[in-house]
A and B are shown apart, each in its own frame.
Chain A
């Protein structure tokens, strides 16, 4: 009986693991589609960007880093500031995407954080919602 119990827990665990994996995979698949229609033109098919003009996403410390709220904000509002990114500067303004849903933002972030040489974590809908709350607070200050 004890044996069966452990087997059951093991199987349930496997099922849960598989399920999360497929959710993650679906996240990334959806994200790839969004990337191709919105982001690829500037950031390029290989995520490498365009030297001095459009920032690379592949290998970018900001993209794979932990500041999810900043990434969410940039996708929503675009980007116009002159900042150094991994030792380089990029001159083009980034297009805002105010019409992207939180789920779509989670998907596209999941894609760019796990594609090319990037091996970071995916981003969940809850994380994007949290980031929005944080960004709103910052804005209202």
Chain B
């Protein structure tokens, strides 16, 4: 009898191993797509970039045990899993971008430039060129995400070091500052020259303002426009309990995805976007009551997502591998919320935003889900329990997309094979 039980367990164990290889690395995907783990446990991987030879560079939030903060991952035997992993640099940060043979990476204050040889090895790992430095980092919203236009300009997010520009940050009843002084040096997107060394605020320009914290941004090369995803403000119920209850706070404000033109103002901290009223509403710190509409000169979002899900990266899909509907549409990673508590958390997935004639349709859908690794897809109640949190996004040379996770540092590869 004991033997039978033993063999039964062995059998189930083998099935388990087999199922694991077939389970798309735990992700739920549309029909025809498959996923596998390209890498695991490389350290909290923020944004990623992929060379034309398929080498993945991941920017780590903090240096790993080897003291390195940019990880180079190569799949030499072409089995879909990184087998040659090396690293460089020692500063934590979020941004990484490949522009021809130049690799740009950001700390939370500066942007550096490296050069790659024809094997995509970094030529100057110890002596990068400082392109921009002295950007504001006051703990909150410190990530400096970067992207480029076709004319070699860098666009960098400088997040507001505040929740809602209150006189006392995150303090019940504290009024909003008029005007908000943070916007002079943060709370927007700055534009710099991609080649010029040692730039700082005076060398660049504020390209767009009124953006609390943009972590995801990408240049739409089809329409030549910048797109950004903003993390909306937190804690309406905590600071204004007479105006908002827990359930209202869980759905307010929208996480917003904007098409940006030079000089645009998205309205933070004066307004927030209410996704059910489809309106820009005056923030309670500035005299709002949950209904009063804000000034019309603030731009409207291209897409409004549910609150607090934390969009981390935007990728316009230009590959030919995926079905036609994905071409020139945008993928967005969602880190997963914390401020929906005490209600269950949302996010922890990759969304797809369809585009038609160069504009977002306003619709969106979940593309890849299950990163949190909960049993039977149960909701996450405490954010820290999510096994993986989607962060970076990049497209490989074969048209697959890669998604990084900044908890332990997994990289998922998602492909389509009909």
A78→B384 contact, CB < 8 A: no
Residues of B with C-beta under 8 A to A40: 341-342
Given contacts A91-B140, A92-B170, A93-B169, contact A48 B384 (CB under 8 A): yes
Identity of the chain A residue whose Cβ is nearest the Cβ of B339 in the assembled complex = A41
Q: Is the CB of B341 within 8 A of A56?
A: no
**Which residues of the partner chain A approach B341 to less than 8 Å between Cβ atoms?**
40-41, 44-45
Question: Which residues on the A side are within 8 Å of B339 (C-beta)?
Answer: 41
Q: In the complex, what distance in Å separates the CA atom of A57 from the CA atom of B12? A: 39
| Bitwise interface map of A from 90 to 104 toward B, beta carbon under 8 Å scored 1, else 0 | 011111100000000
Report the separation of the CA atoms of residues A18 and B44 in the bound assembly, to the nearest whole angstrom.
48
Residue numbers in A under 8 Å from B381 (CB-CB) = 44-46
Q: Chain B residue with minimal CB distance to A47?
A: B382
Chain A contact residues, majority secondary structure:
loop
Task: Tell me which residues across on chain B come within 8 A of A25, comparing CB atoms.
Answer: none
B 149-178 binary contact with A (CB < 8 Å = 1; else 0) = 000000000000001000011111000000
**B163 contact set on A, CB distance < 8 A:** 93
Contact B235 A41 (CB under 8 A): yes
Q: Report if A121 contacts B (CB, 8 A).
A: no
> Is B64 on the interface with A (CB-CB < 8 A)?
no
Which of A40, A51, A52, A94 has its CB near the most chain B CB atoms (within 10 A)? Answer: A51
CB within 8 Å of A: which B367-393 residues: 381-385, 389
- Contact of A52 with B61 in the complex, beta carbons under 8 Å: yes
What residues on A are CB-neighbors of B407 within 8 Å?
51
A-B contact count (CB 8 A): 69
| Distance in Å: Cβ of A83 to nearest Cβ of chain B | 10
**Chain B residue at smallest Cβ distance from A48:** B384
> Does A125 make an interface contact (CB < 8 A)?
no
Encode B167-199 as 1/0 by CB contact (under 8 A) with A: 011111000000000000000000000000000
Contact A54 B338 (CB under 8 A): yes
Taking the nearest CB of chain A, how far is it from the CB of B382, in angstroms? 4
A31 within 8 A of B: no
Known: A40-B341, A44-B338, A91-B139. A50 touches B170 (CB 8 A): no
Highest count of chain B CB atoms <10 Å: which of A40, A50, A56: A50
With A41-B238, A51-B407, A52-B61 as given contacts, are A95 and B382 in contact (CB-CB < 8 Å)? no
Of residues A44, A48, A82, which shows the largest number of chain B Cβ atoms within 10 Å of its Cβ? A44
Is B141 positioned at the interface, with any CB of A under 8 Å from its CB? yes
B140 touches A44 (CB 8 A): no
Q: Does B142 contact A (CB under 8 A)?
A: yes
Residues in B neighbouring A94, C-beta threshold 8 A = 170
Residues of A within 8 A of B168 (CB): 96
List residues of B (335-364) whose CB comes within 8 Å of A's CBs: 338-339, 341-342
Residue of B384, B385, B406 with highest tally of chain A CB at under 10 A: B384
Name the distance in Å between B167's Cβ and chain A's nearest Cβ: 13
**B384 touching A56, Cβ below 8 Å:** yes
- A114 to B: closest C-beta gap in Å: 18
Minimal beta-carbon separation of B83 from chain A (angstroms): 28
In the assembled complex, the CB of A84 is this many whole angstroms from the nearest CB of chain B, namely 11
Known A91-B139, A91-B140, A93-B140: A51·B384 in contact at CB below 8 Å: yes
Residues on the B chain within 8 Å of A14, using CB: none
User: Cα distance A124–B26 when bound, in Å?
Assistant: 47
Nearest-neighbour CB distance to chain A for B142, whole angstroms, equals 6
Inter-subunit contact A49/B384 (CB<8 Å): yes
Q: Out of B140, B169, B382, name the residue touching A45 (CB < 8 Å).
A: B382
Report which of B170, B338, B383, B385 forms a contact with A78, defined as CB distance below 8 A.
B170
Closest chain A CB from B53 CB (angstroms): 32
- Neighbour of B172 across the interface among A42, A53, A91, A95, CB < 8 A: A95
In the complex, which residues of chain B have a beta carbon less than 8 angstroms from the beta carbon of A86?
Answer: none
* Distance from A82 Cβ to chain B, minimum over Cβ atoms (Å): 5
- The 3 A-B pairs with the shortest beta carbon distances in the complex, nearest first, are A48-B384, A44-B382, A46-B382
15 sample A-B contacts, Cβ–Cβ < 8 Å, listed by A number: A41-B341, A41-B342, A45-B342, A46-B382, A48-B382, A50-B338, A51-B384, A51-B406, A53-B338, A54-B338, A78-B170, A78-B171, A89-B139, A91-B140, A94-B170
- State the A residues within 8 Å of B (CB): 36, 40-42, 44-46, 48-54, 56, 78, 80, 82, 89, 91-96
Q: Beyond A52-B406, A93-B139, list 16 extra A-B contacts (CB 8 Å).
A: A41-B342, A42-B338, A44-B338, A44-B383, A46-B381, A48-B383, A48-B385, A51-B406, A52-B44, A54-B338, A80-B139, A80-B169, A82-B139, A92-B140, A92-B170, A93-B170
